[in-house]
Amino acid sequence: MTSQAPTHHHILPFRTYMLVTAGLLILTAITVGISYMDFGVFNLLVAMAVAVGKAALVALFFMHLKYDNKIYLMVFMVALLTLGVLIFLTLADTMTRGDIDIEETGPINPRAAMYLKDTTSAATPDSLVEGRADTAAVDTTSISPGEE
């Protein structure tokens, strides 16, 4: 019988499960209640904070992560971290695409080489090279290749 002793996991008291469930139901009531009010961006933040709190209760107590070998918690955190990187990097792209839309926002740096032709459409290539000093709108010093 002694060989079986290690297989016995930490058995949580009945009370703990009831308290966790009560916590989950209370948090649900809070998040539903707040959804009937309008706090602007705050609504999203509260809803997500409550969801994270509920998820933590489920993971730590129902899934025993708090009491088990910490390697399971690590696997769980690796999943969340990977997901975080995936979401952050993708949104960093999709939410900032308009920022470099030249039709909507114009050039980021009007003096960048790629815009040179547009901003000096009146000037011919010759005048750019020869008349550098009198081209008031565009300073070509830093962008002429081989002219460092």
Partner 1 sequence: MSTESTDKHLDFLEHHFSTPQQQAESAKLGMWVFLLTEILLFGGLFLAYAVYRSWHPEMFYNAHLFLDRELGTFNTVVLIISSLTMALAIRSMQLGKRKQTIWMLVATLALAAVFLVVKYFEYSHKIHLGQLPGKFYTFDGIEGNNPHVFFSVYFLMTGLHGIHVIGGMFAIGWVLRRTIRNDFSSAYYTPIEMTGLYWHLVDLVWIFLFPLFYLIG
- Residues 136, 45: Cα–Cα separation, whole Å: 49
**Contact letters for partner 1, residues 75-104 (x by CB under 8 A):** xx-xxx-xx--xx--xx--xx---------
In the Cβ-directed half-sphere of 91, how many Cα atoms lie within 13 Å? 6
First to last CA, the chain: 83
Could you tell me which residues come within 8 angstroms of residue 107 by beta carbon, excluding any fewer than 6 positions away? 115
By CB under 8 A, tell whether 71 contacts partner 1.
yes
From the list 7, 92, 126, 133, which residue makes contact with partner 1 (rule: CB under 8 A)? 7
Tokens 């930490």 found at: 10
By CB under 8 A, tell whether 109 contacts partner 1.
no
- Residues 24, 129: Cα–Cα separation, whole Å: 71
By CB under 8 A, tell whether 3 contacts partner 1.
yes
Whichever of 37 and 122 has its CB closer to partner 1, that residue is: 37
Do residues 111 and 139 make contact, with C-beta atoms less than 8 angstroms apart? yes
Where on the chain is the footprint of partner 1 (CB under 8 A)?
Answer: 1, 3-4, 6-9, 11-12, 14, 17-18, 20-21, 24-25, 28, 31-32, 35, 43-44, 47-48, 50-51, 54-55, 58-59, 61-63, 68-69, 71-72, 75-76, 78-80, 82-83, 86-87, 90-91, 94-95
